[in-house]
């Protein structure tokens, strides 16, 4: 007899304390059959239940080497896709709430990137002249596009190495979906701003002239992370006016102007390591997602370190926030009953090409 899934409606009105107890009980019953992954930006009520924590690629790789049958990714959609692509065939990737997407990833769709590639062909030979590089914060079909066209995936940690390798293959790079990671990384590699042009998918030829495309080394997609665009240079100036000894550290998804005013720029893991390894009693202004900043501040407080969120406006990743204790309890109790809900499965051909682009990256780093 087929067991019916427990409906999510049964969980919507449960309070967090009830969910907490049910999550703990379900985890005990499932044991090593399940691994819960918690991204750094996840809310505390969910993050505390994670077996593994970190950034998206690190989590997917660790989960693929675990004993778990079920990988429950408390993150967003593209992260669960990567977990499915890198996991073993017998493992099942699950996203607690299918509405947990990524607005930046959505800014570059496969049809729009394919149209860009076709329009570039009016000016040059993209398969000979351009390496497509997609940030890991993108849909699986864009990773597959890169796999098909000799391209590659990058993370905020390894973008510099990936760009170095890409330029060794072809003279130009099409970088999507985040313009800021591309621009900040390219500039730190010595690429002039005028040689990094912005492709607007809403305009013919991306809003560029043929000469701009010929002269460009990097063609940056007009995409961005809304969380990291909250931070402004004025926030840094105002804070340093009050606390001149503070150190500023930002994620490379922040604007060029913010990163230029920061002494340190790097990925979530880089930010955590830098602040953790810093001398006691240092004072930090941090430009990245609020949940992570708050947890880091609490962790290093005993060392006399002060960690402050850069923006006076409270902003967290709203799509990540959709994964709540209610959805996590729902997923786990269904697994206890032998029912898989919200499975993320990338089509086989797409997964093969996406994995090719990911493996190109992993060979370099």
* Tens-place pLDDT, residues 100-133: 999 999 999 999 999 999 999 999 999 999 999 9
What's the confidence (pLDDT) of residue 156? 97
Residues constituting the chain:
365
254-283 mean pLDDT: 98
Residue 3's pLDDT is what? 81
Judge whether 322 and 46 are in contact, CB under 8 Å.
no
Furthest C-alpha separation in the chain: 69
Same domain flag for 54 and 22: yes
Q: Cα separation of 193 and 183, whole Å?
A: 8
> Within 13 A of 312's CA, how many CA atoms are on the CB side?
7
> What is the CATH number for 173?
3.40.50
Q: Clarify whether residues 146 and 186 are in a common domain.
A: yes
Could you tell me how far CA 346 lies from the centroid of its own chain?
18
Instruction: Give the count of domains, the chain.
Output: 3
Cis peptide before 356 (omega within 30 of 0): no
Task: Supply the pLDDT for residue 148.
Answer: 98
Residue pair 17/350 in contact (Cβ under 8 Å)? The answer is no
In terms of residue numbers, what domain contains 211? 105-224
- The mean per-residue pLDDT over the stretch 139-167 comes to 98
Mean pLDDT (the chain) is 96
Cα-based distances in Å from 181 to 144, 202, 266: 20, 21, 10
Least confident of 9-13, 310-314, 326-330: 310-314
Same domain assignment for residues 117 and 145: yes
Residue 17, pLDDT > 90, answer yes
Percent of the chain whose pLDDT exceeds 90: 95
Find the mean pLDDT for residues 177-190.
98
253 in a structural domain = yes
Q: Is residue 30's pLDDT more than 80?
A: yes
What confidence tens digit (pLDDT) does each residue in 54-88 have?
A: 999 999 999 999 999 999 999 999 999 999 999 99
Report in angstroms the alpha-carbon separations of 292 from 271, 273, 289, 318.
10, 13, 6, 14
Distances (CA, A) of 75 to 13, 69, 150, 232, 262: 22, 18, 28, 26, 27
Q: Does 360 fall in a domain?
A: no
Q: Is the pLDDT of residue 1 over 80?
A: no
If asked whether residues 76 and 114 sit together in one domain, one would say no
What does the pLDDT read at residue 221?
98
* Residues 294-305 pLDDT 10s: 999 999 999 999
């Amino acid at each position: 007899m087929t067991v019916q899934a427990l409906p999510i409606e049964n969980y919507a009105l449960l309070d967090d304390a009830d969910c907490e107890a049910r999550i703990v009980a379900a985890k005990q019953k499932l044991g090593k059959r399940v691994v819960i992954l918690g991204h750094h930006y996840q809310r505390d009520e969910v993050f505390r239940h994670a077996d593994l924590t970190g950034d998206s690629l690190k989590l997917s790789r660790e989960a693929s080497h675990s004993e778990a049958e079920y990988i429950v990714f408390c993150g967003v959609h593209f992260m669960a896709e990567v977990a499915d692509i890198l996991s073993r065939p017998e493992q099942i990737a699950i996203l607690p709430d299918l509405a947990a997407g990524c607005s930046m990833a959505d800014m570059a769709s496969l049809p729009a990137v394919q149209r860009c590639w076709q329009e570039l062909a009016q000016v040059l030979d993209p398969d000979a002249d351009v390496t497509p590089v997609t940030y890991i914060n993108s849909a699986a079909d864009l990773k597959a596009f890169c796999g098909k066209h000799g391209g590659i995936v990058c993370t905020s940690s390894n973008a510099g190495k990936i760009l170095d390798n890409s330029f060794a293959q072809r003279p130009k790079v099409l970088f999507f979906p985040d313009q800021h990671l591309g621009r900040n990384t390219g500039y730190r590699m010595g690429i002039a701003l005028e040689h990094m042009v912005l492709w607007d998918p809403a305009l013919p030829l991306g809003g560029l002239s043929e000469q701009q495309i010929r002269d460009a080394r990097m063609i940056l997609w007009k995409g961005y992370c809304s969380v990291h665009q909250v931070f402004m240079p004025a926030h840094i100036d105002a804070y340093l006016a009050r606390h001149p000894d503070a150190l500023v550290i930002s994620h490379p998804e922040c604007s060029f102007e913010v990163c230029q005013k920061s002494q340190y720029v790097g990925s979530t893991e880089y930010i955590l390591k830098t602040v953790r390894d810093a001398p006691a009693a240092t004072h930090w202004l941090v430009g990245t997602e609020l949940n992570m900043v708050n947890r880091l501040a609490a962790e290093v407080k005993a060392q006399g370190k002060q960690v402050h969120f850069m923006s006076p406006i409270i902003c967290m990743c709203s799509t990540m926030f959709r994964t709540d204790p209610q959805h996590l309890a729902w997923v786990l109790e269904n697994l206890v009953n032998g029912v898989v809900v919200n499975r993320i499965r990338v089509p086989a051909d797409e997964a093969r090409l996406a994995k090719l682009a990911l493996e190109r990256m992993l060979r370099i780093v």
